[in-house]
């Protein structure tokens, strides 16, 4: 039977359940998908997490993406300490906001203007309101399995934690909140074409993760994103990329740089905060200028552009912009992929392994084959993934506690962590 965390984690979890729903502050942390007690972490450094009982783990979650340089990178922590000494929050404009906005614009050419907020959920929610205000239309298109945060209009066929818990939709979301949201299968361009043929004049925007990372990791088929770009342009709709996961992680310009597709708006988070809470959205100036105070679309946030978050983002993106990090991540990613494929072959497994840059996912799917959409992602052996997860955890390797999440690498990973992973994976696969 899975155990998960050690003695102190178990004690902390019991205490947490008395004061917090489910004992956690984000559902996937509860280990419901894999069983056992959540591991309570006490510290993180480089490629490692250390739990409350003092055990270390090679970390492939990376705070769900932000730790691209590794945990507690010296340049990032120094920037945060320095910023904290000047004040934790101003509630006024400050120079850091201007500097980070300029840097984001240089790294992502489609972003002519940017607005900071406090989370990826806020960023995608604001993109939708802006798209509706700009186009004067109500309809939104999203894709099953793409998770865009927990705003009401987008909690339809969502991936991530909602999928992990077996509840694709949320209680408390009214029919009216989602009546203008159209849900299509990812990678199904004919379905999108037919919808636009019938209702293109009503659709304000198409919103999607260009590379979905909340139903495992799913790659777009050739022509799919290009087709959506053409459809939206032809019908006067906006194309919105949710790059909260992929932004600044796959390349300086995110997935849109790699895929060579230019969206009208983009939502960001994770990496730009360097580990602190932050979100951002941006795009063409003529669209962004519809935001208050220049335009009629209202969006605000007391802590938006928080000086510590801006300092962390400037330090982290500054390092990424200089180059070299992405090449290192690709090199280690390719080495790790080779190791996993070798161990799968040795164990007689055909499970699909999907990797792009520093993101990867191992689907426990006996029949193998490409995973192209949410329906195929769901066709996984969740019990076997749970056994794999705990087999790795026991041997000091921390994978996401859900089959429907993505693993992340950092620049701090190297040969030592690769060998630990190889040994742990070899034993864990034998037991599944």
Catalytic residues: 147, 242, 270
CA dihedral 137, 138, 143, 144 (to 10 degrees): -170
The C-alpha R_g of the chain, in whole angstroms, comes to 21
Q: Which residues of 193-214 are buried (b: 16+ CB within 10 A; e: fewer)?
A: eebbeeebebbbbbbbbbbbbb
3-state DSSP assignment of residue 258: helix
Residue 47's CB: how many other CB atoms inside 10 A? 24
Q: Phi and psi for 395 in degrees, rounded to 5?
A: -105, 20
Which two structure tokens, joined as six digits, stand for 202?
Answer: 């009503």
Are the C-beta atoms of 111 and 317 separated by less than 8 Å? no
Are the C-beta atoms of 220 and 187 separated by less than 8 Å? yes
Residue 221's CB: how many other CB atoms inside 10 A? 15
Are the C-beta atoms of 404 and 161 separated by less than 8 Å? no
3-state DSSP assignment of residue 213: coil
- Nearest Cα neighbor of 156 from 139, 175, 132, 128 is 175
- Compute CA distances 75 → 114, 182, 316, 320, 367, whole Å: 24, 44, 8, 12, 45
Are the C-beta atoms of 339 and 345 separated by less than 8 Å? no
């Amino acid at each position: 039977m899975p155990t998960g965390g050690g003695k102190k984690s178990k004690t902390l979890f019991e205490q947490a359940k008395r004061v917090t729903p489910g004992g956690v502050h984000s559902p996937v942390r509860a280990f419901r998908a894999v069983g056992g007690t959540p591991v309570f972490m006490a510290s993180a450094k480089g490629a490692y997490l250390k739990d409350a009982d003092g055990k270390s783990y090679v970390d492939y979650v990376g705070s769900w993406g932000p730790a691209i340089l590794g945990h507690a990178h010296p340049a990032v922590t120094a920037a945060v300490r320095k910023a904290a000494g000047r004040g934790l929050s101003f509630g006024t404009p400050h120079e850091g906001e201007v500097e980070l906005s300029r840097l984001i614009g240089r790294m992502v050419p489609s972003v002519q203007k940017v607005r900071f907020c406090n989370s990826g959920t806020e960023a995608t929610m604001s993109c939708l309101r802006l798209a509706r205000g700009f186009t004067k239309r109500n309809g939104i298109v999203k894709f099953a399995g793409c998770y865009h945060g927990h705003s009401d209009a987008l909690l339809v066929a969502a991936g991530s934690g909602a999928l992990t818990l077996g509840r694709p939709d949320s209680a408390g979301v009214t029919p009216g909140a989602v009546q203008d949201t159209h849900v299509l299968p990812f990678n199904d361009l004919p379905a999108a074409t037919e919808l636009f043929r019938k209702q293109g004049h009503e659709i304000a925007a198409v919103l999607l993760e260009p590379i979905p990372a909340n139903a495992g990791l799913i790659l777009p088929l050739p022509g799919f994103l290009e087709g959506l770009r053409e459809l939206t342009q032809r019908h006067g709709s906006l194309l919105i990329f949710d790059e909260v996961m992929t932004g600044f992680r796959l390349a300086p310009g995110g997935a849109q740089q790699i895929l060579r597709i230019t969206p009208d708006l983009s939502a960001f988070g994770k990496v730009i905060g360097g580990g602190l809470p932050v979100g951002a959205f941006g795009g063409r100036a003529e669209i962004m200028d519809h935001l208050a105070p220049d335009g009629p679309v209202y969006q605000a946030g007391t802590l938006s552009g928080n000086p510590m978050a801006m300092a962390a983002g400037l330090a982290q993106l500054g390092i990424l912009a200089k180059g070299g990090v992405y090449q290192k991540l690709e090199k280690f990613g390719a080495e790790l992929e080779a190791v996993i494929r070798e161990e799968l072959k040795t164990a007689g497994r055909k499970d699909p392994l999907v990797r792009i840059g520093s993101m990867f996912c191992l689907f426990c799917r006996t029949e193998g084959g490409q995973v192209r959409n949410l329906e195929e992602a769901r066709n996984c052996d969740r019990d076997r993934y749970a056994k794999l997860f705990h087999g790795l955890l026991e041997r000091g390797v921390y994978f996401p506690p859900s089959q429907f999440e993505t693993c992340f690498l950092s620049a701090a990973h190297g040969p030592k962590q690769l060998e630990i992973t190889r040994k742990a994976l070899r034993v864990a696969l034998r037991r599944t």
